[in-house]
Amino acid sequence: MLKILKVITGNLTSERATVPLPQSVPTPDLFRGPVQMNTSKCIGCGMCSYVCVSNAIVGENQEKAYAWSYEPGRCTFCGRCFERCPVHAISMDAAPLEPYGHPGERSVQHVVEFGHCPECGEPVRAAHEELLKRAFADLTEETRELVRLCERCRRRHLQRNMMVSAFGEREKNR
């Protein structure tokens, strides 16, 4: 019993170990806080949702856009989404997440609109220059133009080129 009283007396007379509010402990270097997404850079590839182990990031392909949602309550702050984003649209905040009371209260949703096909106006998912360089060893201007087209117009363009190469200029003028 005396040992317990000594511990209690020692705790009551010693200096406080916690930081009283409203002060806070400074965040350490390389701290990984909540995920932030820059919609102007995002191409809607879905890599962030693919590598998210906790399912905190969910991406959904819609007809004319890419819907991105983030639930920080599920996030493990591992940084995989940040590391794997090919266009650096994802960042991690340097400040910790503010407290909240209900699940989903701090969730974030973004919609990334697709571009339009220059020939028909249909929605087209953007292809970033860095990804094109990774995919094609010899990146030509013709390849860049094909990537800007929707799938239907791209097929039509390639079929036209195949006909020209197979039958000459005669088929091109038909």
pLDDT per position as a tens digit, 16-64? 777 666 767 777 888 888 999 999 999 888 999 999 999 999 999 998 9
24 assigned to some structural domain: no
According to DSSP, the residues that pair with 60 across neighbouring strands are: 67
Give 15's pLDDT tier (boundaries 50, 70, 90): confident
Q: How many domains does the chain have?
A: 2
User: Could you report the per-residue pLDDT of 142-160, keeping only the tens digit for each?
Assistant: 888 888 888 899 999 888 8
Domain membership of residue 159 (yes or no) is: yes
pLDDT at 173: 54
Residues 68, 37 contacting (CB under 8 angstroms): yes
Are 124 and 109 contained in the same domain? no
Tell me which of 113, 138, 165 is where a domain ends. Answer: 113
* 22 part of a folded domain: no
DSSP-derived secondary structure letter, 24: -
On whether both 119 and 133 belong to a single domain, the answer is yes
Q: Domain residues for 43?
A: 29-113
Q: Are residues 139 and 100 in the same domain?
A: no
**pLDDT digits 0-9 by tens, 120-145:** 989 988 888 878 888 888 888 888 88
Per-residue confidence band for 170, with pLDDT thresholds at 50, 70 and 90: low
**Cα–Cα nearest to 61, from 47, 46, 74:** 46
- Same domain, yes or no: 79 and 108: yes
Domain end position, chosen among 113, 130, 153: 113
CATH number where 62 lies: 3.30.70.3270
- Would the pLDDT of 162 be above 90? no
Which pair of structure tokens corresponds to residue 83? 């590391």
